[in-house]
Structure formats: structure tokens, C-alpha cells
Amino acid sequence: MDEIFFIFSSVYFLLIFFFFIGLLKSNKKRNPNQNKISVIVAARNEEQNLSTLLEILLNQTYPSELYEVVIADDRSKDGTSRIVQQFQKNHSNLKLVKIKQENPDLVGKKGALTAAIKVSQNEILAFTDADCIPTKYWLEEINSHFTEKTDFLAGYSFIKLNNKFFELMKNLERAALFAVIGGGFGWNWGLTCGASNIAYRRKTYDAVNGFDGIGHIRSGDDDLMLQKLSKIIRKMRFMFSRKSFIITSGTKSAGEQIHQETRRASKWKYYPVSIKLLTLFVFLYYLIFITACVTVLRQAISWNSFLVILILKLLPEFLLLLTFLIKIKKLKLMSVFPIAELIYIPYFIFFGLKGTFGKYTWKE
């Protein structure tokens, strides 16, 4: 039993250290030229959020003649279209697309995104969600990261909650995910990403025929699209600058949060074999680590052996998180690191199982 614990712990150590090195490899090169950018947003019943988003998007520090904003009203039953039309009176670079009914071959947001991309005109496609708030420098940062060989960008998003403790906990969990994303990008390996802060080239989108092949899946317009694009991406980069951050809505109910986490985990069965094996290993390792915790309490292994196992887990996780949080200047999130370590394993296992075998609901 001791050998199994040590083998799995050692492999896990090397895996997390791999992403740590990837963070250190991150390229800081900036693009001196100005690209033309199309901002793509799918909005469904977002009249409460859309005005705030449009105020920011239409008043970026980036020259207005170099970008456009395309909003796809995805079968909204509220005043989403009306709000866009009001803004169009003063902003010629704002476009509206209305989706009347869902295309069975492009479900979820994919039909709306496809329609918006079709009417957009620029080479760089930048994506965010209707309930998000970027900084006024967002497009400036996206442009500066799109060097000649860069085909895909992802950036950090921070969730705002009313309870500060839960805000710290949730954002540390998100930071861990973004650290893995950024570390993978350092090796040019796209494991996953979030829809609220990504950008890629139109030519890569066209080269893989858009969402063809994944259009029938309710979610996955972000991570599954990245994995589809990965076959032809020359260079992917992560934006660590605070000017590139997105603030995302934290007003969801507990039930909505559970459905969202379940939906994210449900995409596992569509992932490439390499990522399936990686996440399966982590799942098994967490089960083995829990077993080690029980075993040491029953005195079946020594505390010295368990201490080695614990160090092999905590040290690379600490280094990875610390490095990422220093890069994004959010070091205060480390204050809840010990508590998060206790909670995250059962959290990961629960949603891993629920996402694979359970059901979830999509936004109405």
C-alpha cells in the first residue's frame, strides 16, 4: 500500500510541477501593431446586465475604428434587443443579430455565436459573456498579446460575491484552474479555458469549420472549441495583466451554481484522450490521498510516510498557485489556501461524478 501512495504522489508532484514550469515559460513579448478586433457576445434575457457591459465595451481605450461589438440576441423574452438598439444610435461599431429559434445542430450558445461571427468583419475574434465586466483596457491588452504567431488567447476572470470569505474561496479555486490553464499554455497545450475572456483568429475558426462536430453539445463553446482549434494553433498565450481581467457575475443562486459546475464537469466525456487520462489520474489520486488520510489515522502507515505524501501534494500546489497569484497580483487569495486544501478534494470528486452521471439544466 505504501508503494501505491508514493507512486501516485510522485507522479502528481511531477504533473503539477510541469504546470508550474509552464507558468515560468510564459512569453512577455508584446505586439507593436494594431489589429482589427470583433467582440462577440451571446445574450439571452440579459437586460439587467447588458447596459453595463456595453458602456465598457463601447468606451475602450482601443481606437473605436479598429473594433466592432456584435451582440447576438439569443431568443430573449426581455428587452435585450431594445437595449442594444438604444446604444446603436450613438455607436456605429455596434451590431445586433437576432436569433429566432434554436438550430438543432448548434445548441446552447453556439448558434448565437455562429450568427454573430458570420456578420462580424475582423480577423481577431474576442469573446466575453453578457453578465461580465471587462476593464476599459481589455481590447488594448488583447491586441498587445496577439503577436504574429499567436492564434489563441485566454485571460483571468474574477467573480464578485456578497460574502467576502466565499469570494476568497471561490476565486482561489478559480485561480487554481487558471494556473493550470496558464501553465498548459506555457507548453502550448490547451487543456481548457473560460468563455468570459478568450480570443482567437478568424482563420483558425474557419479552418476547423467553426463549431462543426461539437455543435450538438449544449456547452463547450470555450474549452471544446479550444481543443478543436489546438490541432492548428501555432501559439497560445495567457494574459496575466490586471488590465485584461474580467469581472464575472456572482449573483447566481446556490442551485444555479451547482448546475453550472455540473455542466462544466459533464464535458469530460467529449475531451481528447490525453486530457481524459490526465483528469482521470487526478481523480484516482484524490481517492488514493483520501485513503492515505484514513490509513494513517488507523496507524496502518507511519506518520513519517504520510508527511512525505502530504509534502508531495502540497508543495507543487503551493508553488503553482503562489506563482500565478504573484503574476496576477492577487496574493491575498492565499489566505484561504489551508481551508481550500481541505475542501477541494471532496468538491472535485463530487462534481466529477455528478457531471459524468448526473443531469443539469441550461439557462432559460
User: For residue 342, what pLDDT is reported?
Assistant: 85
With a CB cutoff of 8 Å and minimum separation 6, the contacts of 118 are none
d(CA 130, CA 108): 14
With a CB cutoff of 8 Å and minimum separation 6, the contacts of 281 are 11, 12, 15
**C-beta of residue 29 within 8 angstroms of C-beta of residue 239:** no
User: For residue 363, what pLDDT is reported?
Assistant: 53
User: For residue 86, what pLDDT is reported?
Assistant: 97
Question: Measured on CA atoms in the order 38, 222, 261, 138, is the torsion positive or negative?
Answer: negative
Strands across the sheet containing 37-43: 94-99, 67-74, 37-43, 124-127, 198-201, 150-155, 235-239
User: For residue 252, what pLDDT is reported?
Assistant: 53
Partner residues linked to 150 by β-bridges:
235
With a CB cutoff of 8 Å and minimum separation 6, the contacts of 31 are 143, 144, 145, 146, 147, 148, 150
User: For residue 259, what pLDDT is reported?
Assistant: 52
d(CA 71, CA 69): 7
Q: What are phi and psi of 188, to 5 degrees?
A: 60, 40
66 vs 37, 177, 201, 358, CA distance in Å?
6, 32, 15, 45
Per-residue pLDDT of the chain (364 residues; tens, 9 = 90+): 688 999 999 999 999 999 999 999 987 889 999 999 999 999 999 999 999 999 999 999 999 999 999 999 999 999 999 999 999 999 999 999 999 999 999 998 999 999 999 999 999 999 999 999 999 999 999 999 999 999 999 999 999 888 889 899 999 999 999 999 999 999 999 999 999 999 999 999 999 999 999 999 988 899 999 999 999 999 999 999 999 999 987 655 555 555 555 555 566 678 889 998 998 999 899 989 999 989 988 888 889 999 999 999 999 999 999 999 999 999 999 999 999 888 888 777 765 665 555 555 545 5
Angle between helices 2-24 and 303-328 (to 10 degrees): 10
3-state helix, strand, coil in the chain (%, to 5): 55, 15, 30
User: For residue 343, what pLDDT is reported?
Assistant: 86
C-alpha cell at 186: 506555457
Q: Where in the chain is the domain with CATH 3.90.550.10?
A: 28-262
The verdict on domain 28-262 having CATH code 3.30.70.990 is no
User: For residue 362, what pLDDT is reported?
Assistant: 47
With a CB cutoff of 8 Å and minimum separation 6, the contacts of 287 are 349
Distance of CA 213 to the CA centre of its chain: 21
Residue matched to cell numbers 497560445: 236
299-323 burial, b if ≥16 CB within 10 A, otherwise e? eebeeebbeebbebbeebbebbbeb
d(CA 355, CA 258): 10
Partner residues linked to 95 by β-bridges:
70
Residue matched to cell numbers 432559460: 364
* 220: Cα within 13 Å, side-chain hemisphere: 24
Q: What are phi and psi of 208, to 5 degrees?
A: -105, 15
User: For residue 186, what pLDDT is reported?
Assistant: 95
With a CB cutoff of 8 Å and minimum separation 6, the contacts of 346 are none
d(CA 159, CA 177): 13
d(CA 185, CA 196): 17
